[in-house]
Chain A
Amino acid sequence: MTRNQITHHLTDALLMAYSAGSLPEAFNLTVATHLSMCDECRARAAAFDSVGGAMIDGADTVELAQDSLAATMARIRAGKPQRETPVRRAGLFPAPLRDYVGGDLESVRWRPVGMGVKQAILPTSRAATARLLFIPAGAAVPDHGHRGTELTLVLQGAFCDEVARFGPGDIEVANEELNHTPVAEIGADCICLAATDAPLRFRSLMPRLAQPFLRI
């Protein structure tokens, strides 16, 4: 899972916001899935967590309830000991994504969106949308722009757009300035996890009409 040649990484602003906990759930999911595949970004995220640790260590204090420690000990005694250690399961999806899908690739409930492209919207808060995209080898996702930020993480295969080539583990951070037409490479179907915090803006008429229907 970490043997991917990842060349497109997350920005500092996104990593810091993920660490601070201020991103919408769909973005958290996409960031967590990328971090599961990318040691470089995992280390950078941990550095930002250290900033949070230093902030809490140097923070002011608030008085606790009188029985606070005793009440906490009671919680500990009432709770079950958790001695399980993490196990890595084989499959395409890293653990955070598997949690939202309810399984691996075979559990995804795809819906066709035309021209062989399929999508599955994942259950997150409404502030942003996370979806899995299936782009058949050689096919294109309609030309579109974004009103907000769009993160696209490649899980399998690869796509190219006007910016670059994105392979497994790579993440594209697109903002309002970018209008792009991602095209899946010949050879393998491309599966991506994408998060958007505003509806995509398609430039040709057909997809725009379909937009409310597709929820993209």
Chain B
Amino acid sequence: MTTRRETENTDWVACITAIRDHGDEAAFARLFAHFAPRVKAFLMRSGADATLAEECTQEVMATLWQKSHLFDPTRASAATWIFTIARNRKIDALRKQKRPEPEELPWGQDPEPDQADVLALQQESDQLGRAIAALPAKQRELIEKAYFGDLSHSEIAADTGLPLGTIKSRIRLALDRLRHAMK
């Protein structure tokens, strides 16, 4: 199980790289088959009807293709990146609001990230996924509501004991390297 999931996560990274470098439609079709039905479910649980959810899902997946050059596998898994695109589309389509995002970090000279960094981040993403799956049902439901529904921030319990520290320091490391490369 563990090995399969780890393979899967780094495999998604390879798919996005193939789209970026070669416009690989077969790689895109694989990503689409896995993520599009989940993105649609996410949008419908957030209050979109089937028609709007379908339209937004297609836009989210098209954005993945168009912005594939901005994906950084040392800072996010494919699922995380797709989640952020879907979340922003949701705010735009359902709330009719802009979503202010932090200023993008400028790229260093070397566009190819260190494979060891990529693997480490992807493995920690797996770990987090397993930790969430292992949470008591009530806690998991709360997080699900926070991320899928429109729960206000005062209702969210932040203390779930998830291993966010490790993934945080990993991302921090990626940011540090990026900053260093800019010097």
**A59 CB within 8 Å of chain B:** yes
Cβ proximity bits A41-66 to B, threshold 8 Å, 1 near / 0 not: 01111111111111111111111110
**B39 CB within 8 Å of chain A:** yes
Task: Provide the residues of chain B in CB contact with A85, threshold 8 Å.
Answer: 69-70, 106-107
- Cβ contact within 8 Å between A96 and B168: no
Residues of A3-38 at the interface with B, using a CB-CB cut-off of 8 Å, are: 11-14, 16-17, 19-23, 25, 28-29, 31-33, 35-36
Task: Provide the residues of chain B in CB contact with A50, threshold 8 Å.
Answer: 76-77, 80, 125, 128, 164, 167
Taken together as a complex, chains A and B put the C-alpha atoms of A67 and B107 apart, in Å, by 37
- Cβ contact within 8 Å between A53 and B81: yes
Q: Name the one of A40, A63, A94, A124 contacting B102, with C-beta atoms under 8 angstroms.
A: A94
- Cβ contact within 8 Å between B171 and A75: no
Q: Name the one of A23, A53, A61, A86 contacting B105, with C-beta atoms under 8 angstroms.
A: A86
Cβ proximity bits B130-160 to A, threshold 8 Å, 1 near / 0 not: 0011000000000110111011111010110
**A88 CB within 8 Å of chain B:** yes
Taken together as a complex, chains A and B put the C-alpha atoms of A25 and B80 apart, in Å, by 22
Q: Name the one of A1, A48, A73, A99 contacting B164, with C-beta atoms under 8 angstroms.
A: A48
- Cβ contact within 8 Å between B147 and A36: no
Known: A20-B147, A55-B147. A79 touches B32 (CB 8 A): no
Taken together as a complex, chains A and B put the C-alpha atoms of A94 and B100 apart, in Å, by 11
- Cβ contact within 8 Å between B80 and A125: no
In the assembled complex, how far is the CB of residue A79 from the closest CB belonging to chain B, in whole angstroms?
6
Residues of B74-113 at the interface with A, using a CB-CB cut-off of 8 Å, are: 75-77, 79-84, 86-88, 90-91, 95, 97-107
Q: Name the one of B66, B100, B106 contacting A32, with C-beta atoms under 8 angstroms.
A: B100
Interface residues on B, range: 35 or more
- Interface majority SS on A: helix, strand, loop or mixed? helix
- Cβ contact within 8 Å between B102 and A96: yes
Taken together as a complex, chains A and B put the C-alpha atoms of A28 and B75 apart, in Å, by 21
Taken together as a complex, chains A and B put the C-alpha atoms of A45 and B172 apart, in Å, by 11
Cβ proximity bits B51-75 to A, threshold 8 Å, 1 near / 0 not: 0011001110110011101100001
- Cβ contact within 8 Å between B164 and A46: no
Inter-chain pairs besides A14-B153, A68-B57, A69-B36, 18 sampled, C-beta below 8 Å: A1-B103, A12-B158, A21-B88, A23-B153, A46-B167, A46-B168, A46-B171, A50-B76, A50-B164, A53-B82, A56-B35, A59-B41, A61-B41, A62-B37, A62-B44, A65-B54, A86-B105, A99-B98
- Chain B interface residues toward A at CB < 8 A: 25, 28-29, 32-33, 35-42, 44, 50, 53-54, 57-59, 61-62, 65-67, 69-70, 75-77, 79-84, 86-88, 90-91, 95, 97-107, 125, 128-129, 132-133, 143-144, 146-148, 150-154, 156, 158-159, 162, 164, 167-169, 171-172, 175-176, 179
- Chain A interface residues toward B at CB < 8 A: 1-2, 11-14, 16-17, 19-23, 25, 28-29, 31-33, 35-36, 39-40, 42-65, 68-69, 71-73, 75-76, 79, 81-83, 85-88, 94-96, 99-100, 124-125
